[in-house]
Copies of this chain bind each other. A is one copy, B any other.
């Protein structure tokens, strides 16, 4: 799904839910979809303000749930107190995160077995799986040797 397709999908989603297509919401969308890495709400606020300086923090926080509910963004919580967001991949395939504790970068890896695991484990307890998270925290080997993370990290 291209960015412009996603933009259309966002507008459709808003209309369909009876929500209004405002310049602020579009600026937030555009800022989010220009990113290649994960970003926080605060970073998104600054990025969106560069597009439309009338965007406020409150509107960012009110728009993020809309974008995650519509599956345009994915929310990633790595337990640091603040949430990260990222444009969602085309397919809904589950991913695992690898978080480098040296450079705080978040890598994502396809983990197709996650769905199976979640369903299996939940049904053993008489539950029905809704979602699953798999996260690995790791040190950067290059960081340990050279004091700086390599390009990849």
| A contact set with B: CB distance below 8 Å | 77, 79, 96, 98, 100-101, 107, 109, 117-118, 121-122, 124-142, 150, 152-153
Contacts and interface: CB of A to CB of B under 8 A. Distances in A.
Given A79-B79, A125-B152, A125-B153, 4 more contacts: A109-B124, A127-B140, A127-B141, A132-B137
Contact of A121 (B98, B128, B130): B98
A34 to B, nearest CB: 25
A101 B121 contact: no
Contact of A138 (B129, B152, B153): B129
15 contacts: A96-B121, A98-B125, A98-B127, A100-B127, A107-B125, A118-B138, A121-B136, A125-B138, A126-B153, A128-B138, A129-B137, A130-B136, A132-B136, A132-B137, A133-B133
